[in-house]
């Protein structure tokens, strides 16, 4: 089942190529309600994607450094594996949210360095709203749970 993800780019199943790829334009508004839906996997991805965009706004970077920074940003909420980071970076790049270029290493292999694009800033703004709403809902639930237990 394919469906459009945040920012209008289409999520693909593993092993499914880019055939039929047709990302929406940057002018298309992001549907915050659509961002908020999804199971635990989507919620984990939303945290990683938000942290990636924050890290890239702070400084352009390559996958390994971004993985470390994302783990710092999300803390103990989720484990950030490098494979997830690279998959999300690829989706963000396909959606026009980030761009990449090969950086020639002086003492090692070339690395792909990622930079956030203006549409990535808009996506981060949308995620900020979604996560704020989610955080408020969790705080309300926590407060109700404590009230019911006293």
Q: What are 90-142's pLDDT values in tens digits?
A: 999 999 999 999 987 777 788 899 999 999 999 999 999 999 999 999 999 99
What digits encode the pLDDT tens for the residues 24-50? 444 455 555 555 555 556 788 889 999
What digits encode the pLDDT tens for the residues 42-96? 788 889 999 999 999 999 999 889 999 999 999 988 899 999 999 999 999 999 9
11 in Cβ contact with 4 (< 8 Å):
yes
* Fold category of 39-149 in CATH: Arc Repressor Mutant, subunit A (1.10.10)
Domain residue spans of the chain: 39-149
Which of helix, strand or coil describes residue 50? Answer: helix
Q: pTM of the full predicted structure?
A: 0.71
């Amino acid at each position: 089942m394919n469906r459009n993800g945040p920012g209008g780019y289409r999520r693909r199943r593993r092993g499914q190529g880019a055939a039929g790829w047709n990302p929406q334009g940057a002018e298309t508004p992001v549907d915050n309600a659509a961002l908020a839906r999804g199971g635990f996997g989507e919620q984990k991805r939303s945290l990683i994607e938000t942290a990636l965009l924050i890290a890239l706004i702070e400084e352009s970077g390559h996958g390994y450094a971004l993985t470390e920074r994302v783990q710092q940003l999300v803390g103990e909420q989720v484990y950030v594996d490098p494979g997830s980071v690279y998959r999300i970076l690829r989706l963000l790049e396909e959606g026009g949210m980030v761009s990449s270029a090969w950086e020639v290493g002086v003492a090692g292999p070339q690395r792909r360095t990622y930079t956030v694009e203006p549409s990535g800033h808009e996506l981060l703004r949308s995620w900020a709203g979604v996560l704020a709403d989610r955080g408020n809902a969790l705080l309300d639930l926590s407060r109700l749970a404590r009230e019911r237990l006293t």
